[in-house]
Every structure is written in C-alpha cells, then in structure tokens.
Structure 1
Amino acid sequence: MRHTERHRTERIGWLRAAVLGANDGIVSTASLVVGIAAASATHATVLMTGVAGLVAGAMSMAAGEYVSVHSQADAEKADLARERAELKADPAAEHRELAAIYVARGLTPELAQQVAVQLAGHDALGAHARDELGISETMAARPVQAALASAASFAVGAALPLAVAAFAPGRGLIYWVSGMSLFFLALLGGVAARAGGAGVAAGAWRVTFWGALAMGITAGVGALFGAAP
C-alpha cells in the first residue's frame, strides 16, 4: 500500500519562499510608498515608485533565492558524489558507518547491522544520503521552484499596498497604506503560522511588528528629506 500521509515538512521549501516573498513585497513596497508620500511627492510619483519597487523587488528576490538555493543544491550534489565514491572504494567501511549511525539512534548493534544490510541492499546511496548527510527528496533544494515562488509571491504581496495607494485619497494615503499593509501582514503571518503548525497570534504579531517598524522608519526618513531645502 502506498504511503499517503502528508506532513508539513513536505511543503516547507515552497512555503518558506512564498511567505518570505509576500512578506517582503508588502513591507518593502508599503515602506517605499509611505516614505515617498511622506516626502510630499505627487500621487503619480508615489505610484510610479511603487511599480518600480515591485518589478525590481520581484527580480531581486528571484535572483537571490535562485543563487542561494542553487548553492545549497551544489553542496548536496558534491556530498552525494563523494559518498558515491566512498561506497565504491570501501563499501565495508561505509556499511560500518551506517550501522554505527543506527546504534547511535538507539538500535542494538545486531539490529543496526540488519537494518544497514537491508537498506544498503535496497539503495545504499539513498540510505547514506538520508541518514548520514540529512538529504531527502522532501528537503532537497529546488532552485527554480524557489526562485519562481519568491518572485511571484513578492509581486502579489507588493501589489496589495500598491493597489491601496492607487485608490486611496491623496491626503490620507499614508494612513491608508500603512493601516491596510499592517492588516495584510497580520493576515499573512497568521495564515503562514497555521500552515506551518505554529501559533497564529504569534505569527501575526511578528510580521506586523517588523512591518510597522520598517514603515515608521521609512516615513521618518522621507519626511526628513522632504522637508530639506
């Protein structure tokens, strides 16, 4: 019978990239819009700046995530290649190493030997990758998937405060964008926490606090430079 039970760790890769992208999209774009608005820029300038921030941020997130995750994937491939060579050069030593891992996890030496024999007979490299190196199919690095998830989620997140800025009245734009962005952040934090099995209130509070801090500082900088002659 095929194993059909699903766990939260199976979605941790794309969930991390998606949440990080959306959070950055909301915070950076809202902060940018609020900062430019605080500098007494025109409504058209605020919107143009927000759109530029959305495009630049999405591309930056995609590039950064791809490079980061690709580096992880390269390290995993190098470790697997070395493990493959070691299995070919000295399979007996690798077998003892695998058995020792199982003994350290609580199995008796006799049972550890049996488990090592059976797992190595089925897929020796897979057993060493999983139990020695900590590399599994679920946690494997996927650079393209992570890059696309980050770029798309950033764009979606950035579009939210940008849409508010587009329809908010010019006089109250800062308050509308700040308030709605904090609402979006709280919602995102709560949903992400629930998907990951963590506390909803704590997840919402974390992202809301840091978002408010970012917007507050950016607004202060915008007001300071906007007031400069």
Structure 2
Amino acid sequence: MTTTQPAPDTPDERTLRRWRRYLADERAEASVYRDLAKRREGEERDILTALADAESRHEQHWLDLLGPHVGKPLRPGARSRVLGWLARRLGSVFVLALVQRAESRSPYADDPDATLEMAADEQIHEEVVRALAERGRNRLSGTFRAAVFGANDGLVSNLSLVLGVGASGVSNHVILLTGVAGLLAGALSMGAGEFVSVHSQRELLAASTPNPEVGAAIANLDVNQNELALVFRSRGMTEQQAQTSAARLIWGMHTETAALAAGGATDDHEAIGTGMGAALSSFCFFASGAIVPVIPYLFGMSGLGAVALSAGLVGIALVGTGAVVGLLSGSSPLWRALRQLAIGYGAAAVTYLLGLLFGVAAG
C-alpha cells in the first residue's frame, strides 16, 4: 500500500516546482493510458485502465505533499505532451514502445520525496507496458523485419552502387541507368527472397507442430507399455516427469490438447508473418530506399555535388530507420541511428574508394 509522506511546513520554491512537475507528468501519463485504453478491447483495455488508475494514485501523492501550494496546473513535459498526442491519434505499438522508455526513466528511485512503493510501481509499469508492446511487436515483426531490412538494403546497396560506378568516371547517364537497374534488381530479389524465406520457416514450424489426430489414439494405448511417455520425453521432460504426465493423461486428468502443449510446443507463425506480406513489404521498402541515392541524378546533377547530396539524403534516411527500430525495440533511438549511419556510410565509402581505384586504373 502506498504511503504518503507529510509535506514539510515551508517547502522551498525549487522543491515546489519539482513536485508540480511530477504532478503534471503523472496527470499526463494517466491520460495517455486512458487514451490508449480507448483504442483497445478486453484484457488490454483493462490493463491500461489499471495503469491509469495507478498513475492517478501517484498524482494524489504529489497533491498531498503540495497541499495549499498546488498553484496553477503546469503543462506536462514535452515528452509527455508528445506521447499524449500520439496516443490520441495512433494508439499503436509505436506509442507503447515510447511509453515503455518513459517508464524506464522514472526519477522516483532517486527522489527522497517519492515513496519506495511509487518507485517500485514505475518499474512494474515498465514491464507491463513491455509485455503489451511485445504483443504488437509479434504481430508486425515479420513484415516489419522485411520492411526495415528492405529499406536499409536499398539505401546502402544502391548508394554504394551509385557512388562506386560514379567514382570510376562514367557519365551521368550511365550512373542513372545503373541506379535504376540496381533498384529493380534488388527489389525483386529481396521480395522473392523474403517470400521463400518466410514460407520455408513456416513449413519448418508446421513440421514440428504436434499432430492433432494423435489424441484419438491415446484411449487405445497400453497402460503398462505407455508409448505416450516417449512423446513427453522427446519434448524435454525427464523420464519421471514424462511417466507422471502420461499416467495423468491416460486416466483422464488432462485433455489431449493440454497434454501435448505441455511438452513446450508453441505457435510462432504469427511472429513470422505471411510470405506475401513480407515479400511486398521487402519489395516496396527496398525500392523506396534504393530511389533515395538516385534522386540527385534524376534531376541532372553530377560530380561531387551529386555525390554529397546523395550521401546526405541516404544519411538522413538511415538515421530515421535506425531511430524507429530503436524506439520499437525499447532501446536508445540515438545509438541505433548512429550505428545504422556508420554501417551504411562505411559500406558506401569502401565501394566509392574501389570505384576511384578502378577509374584510375582504367585511365
């Protein structure tokens, strides 16, 4: 149970400002959870509503501390305002990922005016939101993976291709044709590769899924020579655990479905996505990435100006995709963005230097 600390008789102005800021942020976070709950149904709605109620309890803590010094309501911080705006308009896994990061940065653990219960609440909230966000991540992971890989492959490979060919001294027309050819070839290759990859993975999972018709044979098993125990042992149980589970099943203490599932089989099909969805995402995002380094040449630019603009546009796109991946994964968007940029520019620089060498050798 959360205990509220008594307010000091004469809190200084700095302390009051801090408490008012916490109060504003708690109100904003409660509002975010309620806005997210409006876009959910069933259990997820209930969980988000409970999180909003918890933030309201924290709000009351700061109200009690402030007492007559509450003053005019403050605007919440920029981060809370952005989250509120996104929650009202999107309500997606993207917003949940941002909320997860916000909960992980709670200052209550180091603030003497916040209770230990409140600091613990914030840690638990982070895990609850992480679990909710994971559901959304699983639903989009297959298509999202193809989209991210496709966009980054298009950006890096076509930038490398365009810069490498351009550094060799060929004409602007040749560079443009090379870029367009790289776009089409890469997009088709990526789409076909993702389609085959996802279908192959789903087929492997299907081959490992227990046969539902096996349940019909259980009633006819020899109790003294119980082959069912071998099924449980093959799924990771010890011999004793397998014998116990098989005996319970034989004597009607578990259903066929529950028993077979107890061996550890899981359905990962949803997390993989569909082959066609992954293929289309990969094709479209590769093409959208691959067109970026070609843009300067489409407008007739050439030389170092075209190279600089092409590299700059690709750099912006790499930073954007890296930041999005970081946000959705709950990690630092800045670190992911910089890593993406370094990898992309590194590959392009190597290809550009090779193009210069070949150009010199050909000359």
Range class of TM-score, shorter chain: 0.7 to 0.9
Would you say the 8 A contact 1:43–1:170 is kept in 2? yes
Rounded Cα–Cα distance in structure 1 between residues aligned with 2:197 and 2:325? 22
Rounded Cα–Cα distance in structure 2 between residues aligned with 1:166 and 1:17? 27
| Cα RMSD for the two superposed structures | 3.2
Would you say the 8 A contact 1:66–1:146 is kept in 2? yes
Equivalenced residue count is 215
- Alignment-derived partner of residue 281 in structure 2: 149
Q: Does 1:38 align with 2:171?
A: no
SS in 1 for 2:271: coil
* Larger RCO (CA within 8 A; separation ≥ 6): 1
Would you say the 8 A contact 1:14–1:149 is kept in 2? yes
Rounded Cα–Cα distance in structure 2 between residues aligned with 1:125 and 1:206? 46
Q: What is the aligned-residue identity percentage?
A: 33
How big is the shift at 1:127? 3.7
How big is the shift at 1:187? 1.2
Rounded Cα–Cα distance in structure 1 between residues aligned with 2:149 and 2:348? 17
- Of the candidates 30, 34, 42, which is equivalent to residue 2 of structure 1? 42
Rounded Cα–Cα distance in structure 2 between residues aligned with 1:27 and 1:190? 16
How big is the shift at 1:40? 0.9
Structure 1 stretches of 4+ with a deviation exceeding 6 A read none
Q: Does 1:193 align with 2:326?
A: yes
- Alignment-derived partner of residue 154 in structure 2: 25
Rounded Cα–Cα distance in structure 2 between residues aligned with 1:184 and 1:33? 16
1:156-191 deviation line (CA, Å, top 9, x unaligned): 111122223323631221122112211211111111
Rounded Cα–Cα distance in structure 2 between residues aligned with 1:156 and 1:57? 11
- Of the candidates 291, 296, 301, which is equivalent to residue 164 of structure 1? 296
Would you say the 8 A contact 2:176–2:297 is kept in 1? yes
SS in 2 for 1:169: coil
Rounded Cα–Cα distance in structure 2 between residues aligned with 1:64 and 1:27? 18
Report the TM-score when normalising by structure 2.
0.52
1:15-74 deviation line (CA, Å, top 9, x unaligned): 111000000010011111111111111111111100000000001101111111111111
More helix by share: 1
Tell me, which stretches of 5 or more residues in structure 1 are unaligned?
103-108
- Alignment-derived partner of residue 313 in structure 2: 180
Rounded Cα–Cα distance in structure 2 between residues aligned with 1:52 and 1:34? 14
1:56-98 deviation line (CA, Å, top 9, x unaligned): 0001101111111111111112112x5435444448837x949
Tell me, which stretches of 5 or more residues in structure 2 are unaligned?
1-40, 45-131, 220-225, 238-243
Report the TM-score when normalising by structure 1.
0.79
Would you say the 8 A contact 2:176–2:294 is kept in 1? yes
